[in-house]
Amino acid sequence: MKSVVVVGASLAGLRACETLRMEGYDGRITLVGDEAEIPYDRPPLSKKVLAGEWDAERIRLRGADDFASLSLDLRLGVRATALHTDRNVVALADGTEVAYDGLVIATGASPRRLPGQPDLSGVVTLRTLAESLTLRDLIADGTARVVVIGAGFIGLEVAATARQRGCAVTVLEGLPTPLVRGLGSEMGTAVAAVHARNGVTLRCGVRVAGLQGAGRVSGVLLDDGEVVPADVVIVGIGVATNTDWLIGSGLQLQDGVVCDATLNAGVPGVYAAGDLARWPNGAFAGDDDMLMRVEHWTNAAEQGAAAAANLLAWTRGEAGTPFESVPFFWSDQFDSRIQFIGRAHGDDEVHVFTGSTDGKFAALYGHGGRLRGVLGVGLPRMVMPFRALLAERASWDTALAKAAELTAT
């Protein structure tokens, strides 16, 4: 193997490049990215960068000299437009093609737009460094009326940061409770209380009909005719995987790239990692959602490394190692660090084993006699001890015993 192409200058893409070098691969690595930026960390975009506390250089995943040591052929600021697996080439938006012997796909996902969303000044999404800096300028003086559409984790993080800058903030959510997909109804409501205590107006069960304004946004129109005044609107209604460029490639696309357990995308030498990889996670074998796609930092970092390692194993004629992982994510909102490990489902049994949902607390999620997830709000030491139990598919009774042990000390 003389040439590896990594498409996606993301955390997953960078970890793939690093792993190739650490494992001794000394051939060409071409890193393709649609942003004209060397890889950077995205979680601070809605927090420290948006708050004006960190500058862009602080979130680089590697310093300039350290990054140069990877000896990459950089193709930044140019999109991949097609994958031709019959010829082993990636086509780019500048009209060139890059040939590969091995390929790692890590193009991630992009924010969804509202149906028929007009191009108005003051309306932003938040996925890139440029978008974070634009939004930072819009809320910098603390006088803007900010409306966040979507009460997911990114939306709530932006709401918290804008409120801390002094802005009046309203969050609009179509579902009955926020974070219901990630945490379930009961715990989503408990996390939302953090915002209520800090002066954010959270309105659930409302439908957005459109945006109003002439050149610049002036309000959000609801389906009942009400207009919520706004100087700044953040659209945070989820993401769509960046797979359009893979149509016709022969890869199986299903809200992402469908992979086997080793992250191989169904074609020899082609692997996927990060937000767009959909794979059978053996850590949840037997569950109805074992084939999963995970949009979290830890997963992107670990999968990028695993995809590269399995690519190298393939070149040696060796079997790849199945990628198994217990999902873990965190979110900083006001003075609360919210952590979740595992998977949540709407019919899970939820047991708060320490603290109170009025403040700091930790809770277990279980189903069918087995532990399935752990949530902590402001109590990090109560979350991570359960990661090994989740990997072992521990019983509910074992989890309760562990919780009793942790709270006894």
Q: What is residue 60's DSSP assignment? A: B
pLDDT tens-place values along the chain, 409 residues long: 999 999 999 999 999 999 999 999 999 999 999 999 999 999 999 999 999 999 999 999 998 888 999 999 999 999 999 999 999 999 999 999 999 999 999 999 999 999 999 999 999 999 999 999 999 999 999 999 999 999 999 999 999 999 999 999 999 999 988 888 888 888 888 888 889 899 999 999 999 999 999 999 999 999 999 999 999 999 999 999 999 999 999 999 999 999 999 999 999 999 999 999 999 999 888 777 789 999 999 999 999 999 999 999 999 999 999 999 999 999 888 988 899 999 888 788 999 999 998 889 999 999 889 999 999 999 988 999 999 999 999 999 999 999 999 999 6
Residue 51, burial from CB neighbour count under 10 angstroms (0-12, 13-18, 19+) = middle
* Region class of 403: left (phi > 0), else alpha (psi between -120 and 50), else beta: alpha
pLDDT given at position 326: 93
Q: CB neighbours (10 Å) of residue 199?
A: 11
pLDDT given at position 284: 86
What is the dihedral sign for C-alpha 247, 34, 260, 324? negative
Q: Rounded to whole angstroms, how far apart are CA atoms 124 and 117?
A: 11
DSSP calls for 231-272: SEEEE-S-EEES-GGGTTSS--BSSSEE--TT-B-SSTTEEE
Reading the block at residue 143, the tokens are: 């006088």
The phi, psi pair for 32, rounded to 5°, reads: -105, 130
Q: Which is nearest to 306 in space by CA: 282, 288, 284? A: 282
Q: Which is nearest to 343 in space by CA: 155, 189, 181? A: 181
pLDDT given at position 271: 98
Contact criterion met (CB below 8 Å) for 275 and 300: yes
Q: Rounded to whole angstroms, how far apart are CA atoms 223 and 226?
A: 7
pLDDT given at position 65: 85
295-310 burial code (b ≥16 CB/10 A, e <16): bbbbbbbbbbbbbbbb
pLDDT in tens, 388-405: 999 999 999 999 999 999
Q: Which residues is 371 bridged to in the sheet?
A: 366
Reading the block at residue 313, the tokens are: 């194993």
What is the dihedral sign for C-alpha 254, 126, 272, 329? negative
pLDDT given at position 52: 95
Half-sphere exposure of 112 toward its Cβ, with a 13 Å CA cutoff?
13
Q: Rounded to whole angstroms, how far apart are CA atoms 227 and 147?
A: 11
List of domains in the chain: 3-110+240-315 (3.50.50.60), 113-237 (3.50.50.60), 335-407 (3.30.390.30)
pLDDT given at position 181: 80
pLDDT given at position 409: 67
Q: Rounded to whole angstroms, how far apart are CA atoms 40 and 46?
A: 13
Reading the block at residue 22, the tokens are: 């650490």
The phi, psi pair for 82, rounded to 5°, reads: -165, 150
